[in-house]
């Protein structure tokens, strides 16, 4: 059985529904929320590239279901050593979220373990939530019955936020902290720093603390100096 971790360790504080910025993914968000908040909702399969919010939604669903008193488990398959044991050890959850399904593609025993888990969940009334970078038919799965089962889920392609949407999120989050990020700072940042929203929000947290400690506004020189000192100086 997958060990149960303390809530604070299992669910990062930012991976909650209220911190998910849907952009073009509002319908997918609503479907995942429905699955998290009660039994009977259709099982969901999220598909999209890195940075599109798949893991965020899976962990947010687990957190919301857990807070509602439901037993939950989250399996990040790409990070698990013995995937077969992990899949066969799952038991007793009302909601099970399986991330990075592509990690088992081509692994015969792991594919069979997931197929059996799918059927077990159907029989026991466990809700399943899946995430992968490709649709089931393009994952490279060797087990036809598993591809068919996954294809029967309600599928949603996730689209990453565009640069304009990321900028608006950053400005809004900065404003809640009393920070003014002008367009010059954002232009410099977006031209040189990772554009993954999670990385940008983590950077904003760091800049908030650093600017308060230094009693300085966040300007391009301040930002450049902070990144240099933090060993994150962009090219």
How far is the C-alpha of 217 from the C-alpha of 228, rounded, in Å? 17
Reading the chain (235 residues) residue by residue, the pLDDT tens digits are 444 433 334 566 778 899 899 999 999 999 999 999 987 899 999 999 988 999 999 999 999 999 999 999 999 999 998 999 999 998 889 999 999 999 999 999 999 999 999 999 999 999 999 999 999 999 999 999 999 999 999 999 999 888 888 899 899 889 888 888 889 999 998 888 877 787 888 889 899 999 999 999 999 999 999 988 877 766 5
pLDDT in tens, 63-106: 999 999 999 999 999 999 899 999 999 888 999 999 999 999 99
- End-of-domain residue from the set 157, 175, 210: 157
CATH of the domain at 64: 3.40.50.300
* Eight-class DSSP state of 94: S
Nearest to 61 by CA among 91, 29, 100, 25: 29
Q: Are residues 152 and 224 in the same domain?
A: no
Q: Are residues 109 and 201 in the same domain?
A: no
pTM: 0.84
Q: Does residue 126 lie within any of the structural domains?
A: yes
Q: Are residues 85 and 28 in the same domain?
A: yes
Q: Are residues 98 and 145 in the same domain?
A: yes
Q: Are residues 46 and 20 in the same domain?
A: yes
CA triplet 99, 232, 163: central angle to 5 degrees? 60
Quote the domain boundaries for residue 138: 7-157
How far is the C-alpha of 65 from the C-alpha of 10, rounded, in Å? 13
């Amino acid at each position: 059985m997958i060990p149960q971790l303390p809530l604070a360790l299992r669910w990062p504080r930012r991976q909650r529904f209220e911190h998910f910025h849907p952009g073009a993914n509002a319908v997918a968000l609503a479907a995942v929320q429905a699955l998290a908040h009660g039994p009977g909702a259709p099982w969901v399969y999220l598909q999209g590239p890195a940075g599109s919010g798949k893991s965020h939604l899976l962990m947010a669903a687990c957190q919301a279901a857990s807070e509602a008193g439901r037993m939950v488990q989250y399996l990040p398959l790409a990070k698990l050593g013995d995937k077969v044991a992990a899949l066969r050890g799952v038991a007793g959850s009302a909601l099970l979220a399986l991330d990075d399904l592509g990690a088992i593609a081509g692994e015969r025993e792991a594919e069979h373990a997931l197929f059996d888990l799918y059927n077990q969940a159907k029989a026991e009334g466990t809700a399943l939530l899946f995430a992968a970078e490709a649709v089931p038919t393009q994952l490279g799965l060797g087990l036809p019955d598993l591809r068919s089962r996954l294809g029967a889920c309600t599928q949603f392609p996730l689209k990453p936020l565009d640069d304009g949407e990321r900028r608006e999120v950053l400005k809004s989050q900065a404003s809640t902290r009393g920070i003014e990020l002008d367009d010059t700072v954002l232009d410099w940042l977006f031209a040189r720093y990772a554009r993954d929203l999670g990385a940008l929000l983590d950077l904003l947290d760091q800049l908030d603390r650093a600017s308060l400690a230094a009693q300085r506004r966040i300007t391009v020189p301040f930002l450049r100096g902070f990144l240099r000192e933090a060993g994150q100086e962009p090219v």
